Amino acid sequence: MTSRPPGPALTAAPAPALAVLGDADAPRHAVVLSPVMPRWDHGSFFHQVAEPLLTSGHRITVYDTLSLLRDGDDLKALVDRWGRHLAPHADGAYGPSAAVAPDLLVGNALGGAVVQALLTHEWTHHAKVLLLSGPTVADDELDTKLERIAAAVQAQGLPSALRLLEEAVRGPGRQPGATTLPRTEPDAGQPTDSEEELAGRRLSAGLRLLHAADVRDPVRDFPGALLHVYGERSLLVQRKHLATGPRPRHHLTGVPQAGMRPHADRPALTRDTITRFLGAEHS
């Protein structure tokens, strides 16, 4: 796995940002790592496809992947930090409240790359793995597209960078989204300059973490069930950026008429795909 330092400095929170969905007493636990977000959305990105996990007996912990990023990190450093946080511990500490590994690992975009890199850890080998547009390997084309967006933050400002990102990730036929910093609190008003600066640093640093990423080895050796779900019309992460191992329980499913966010572009079809994956594995 290779990557370069993310550029603008970020300071991680003392604990990762997270949101919890479902029944705390559910028999299974799913851990979800988010894509790069200028601002953490408290897990909203996953709501449209959470139902198959909830109805199959999972409680869901959705993490802000960038919340553990620190100054000077590359992808390996971020992965190592998530590995230490998520690994089960004999004293009952697991991120920090459980003594068992998750039953399902889910990663979207950058979160998917982190999840795939974590598959070197033995504690992941009993989990199922679901990846939503999570790149296994970044080629020159993907690196160039991501760098164009990351560089636009400083050169043109955050709204321009968000516009470039939206153009790259939206599915065919979808209207352009907002190009200003998203707000998650209804009465929060306009973002302050410091909030906008932090959002820009998160966006550019997060995208640059994927530069030259290559996690094919952990995926190839992973013994468990693994499913890639990707949009067939994606302009960023595409089929060629995904890899599986030589195992019958590794699969790839393209979602037609979907871009980089199949769970947002075709939520019903994506839910059906996830339901079949979980049903086959839990039957």
DSSP-assigned states of every residue in 6-22: -SS-----SS--EEEES
Q: What is the pTM of this model?
A: 0.90
Please, how many CA atoms are within 13 Å of residue 243, restricted to the half-sphere of its CB?
A: 20
To the nearest 5 percent, what fractions of the chain are helix, strand and coil?
A: 40, 15, 45
Closest CA to 218 of 280, 137, 109: 137
Contacts of 214 (CB under 8 A, 6+ apart): 1, 2, 136, 137, 138
Distance from C-alpha of 254 to C-alpha of 244, rounded to nearest angstrom: 14
What are the structure tokens assigned to 248, written together? Answer: 């019958």
Q: Which single residue is written with the structure tokens 């410091």? A: 194
DSSP type of residue 275: H
Question: Can you give the pLDDT of all 283 residues of the chain as single tens digits?
Answer: 655 444 445 766 568 999 999 999 999 999 999 999 999 999 999 999 999 999 999 999 999 999 999 989 999 999 999 999 999 975 544 444 456 899 999 999 999 999 999 999 999 999 999 999 999 999 999 999 999 999 999 999 999 999 999 999 998 876 655 443 444 444 455 678 899 999 999 999 999 999 999 999 999 999 999 999 999 999 999 999 999 998 899 999 999 999 999 999 999 999 999 999 999 754 4
Structure tokens at 72: 């000077």
What token pair was written down for 54? Answer: 């909830």
As a CATH number, domain 18-139+209-282 is 3.40.50.1820
Q: In this structure, are residues 229 and 204 in contact, taking their beta carbons and an 8 Å threshold?
A: no
* Pair of tokens at residue 90: 């004999």
User: Does 223 sit behind a cis peptide bond, omega within 30 degrees of 0 on the bond before it?
Assistant: no
Q: What is the pLDDT of residue 172?
A: 83
Task: Spell out the domain ranges in the chain.
Answer: 18-139+209-282
Sign (positive or negative) of CA dihedral 65, 70, 72, 76? negative
Picking from 282, 51, 239, the residue whose alpha carbon sits closest to that of residue 139 is 239
pLDDT value, residue 247: 85
Contacts of 265 (CB under 8 A, 6+ apart): 170, 171, 174, 231, 255, 257, 258, 259
- E strand or H helix that includes residue 28: strand 28-33
CA-to-CA distance for 271 and 212, rounded, in angstroms?
Answer: 31
Residue 1's pLDDT is: 62
Any idea what DSSP says for residue 100? S
Using an 8 Å Cβ cutoff, are 135 and 142 in contact? yes
